[in-house]
Amino acid sequence: MISKILCFILMLFTISAASQSLITKSKKYPAFFVGYQFSPEARDNTETWESSKMHILEIAYGKVLDHGTRHGESAAWYTGTDLIFNYKESFLVAPKIGANTSGGALVLGGEIQFQTDFNKVVPRAMPYLGLGGLGRRLFIGYNFRLLKTEFFPVNTLNIGLTLPIRTKKG
HEC per residue, 57-112? EEEEEEEEEECCCCCCCEEEEEEEEEEEEECCCCCEEEEEEEEEEEECCEEEEEEE
What does CATH list as the number for 2-166?
2.40.160
Which class for 109: exposed (0-12), middle (13-18), buried (19 or more C-beta within 10 A)?
buried
C-alpha 33/C-alpha 53 separation (Å) is 23
CA 38-80-98 angle, 5° bins: 80
CA 129-130-131 angle, 5° bins: 150
SS3 label, residue 149:
coil
Tell me the pLDDT of the chain averaged across its residues: 81
Residues 94/109, Cβ–Cβ less than 8 Å: no
- Name, in order, each residue with C-beta under 8 angstroms of 136's C-beta and a sequence gap of 6 or more: 162, 163, 164
Eight-class DSSP state of 135: T
Mean pLDDT (whole number) for 41-61: 70
What would the pLDDT profile of 59-94 be if each residue is shown by its tens digit? 999 999 888 776 678 899 999 999 988 766 678 899
What would the pLDDT profile of 97-141 be if each residue is shown by its tens digit? 999 999 888 999 999 999 888 888 888 899 999 999 888 999 999
Q: Is residue 21 very low, low, confident or very high in pLDDT (cuts 50, 70, 90)?
A: very low
Count of other CB atoms within 10 angstroms of residue 36: 13
Instruction: Report yes or no on whether pTM surpasses 0.75.
Output: yes
Question: Which residue would you say has higher pLDDT here, 160 or 170?
Answer: 160
Residue-level pLDDT at 57: 96
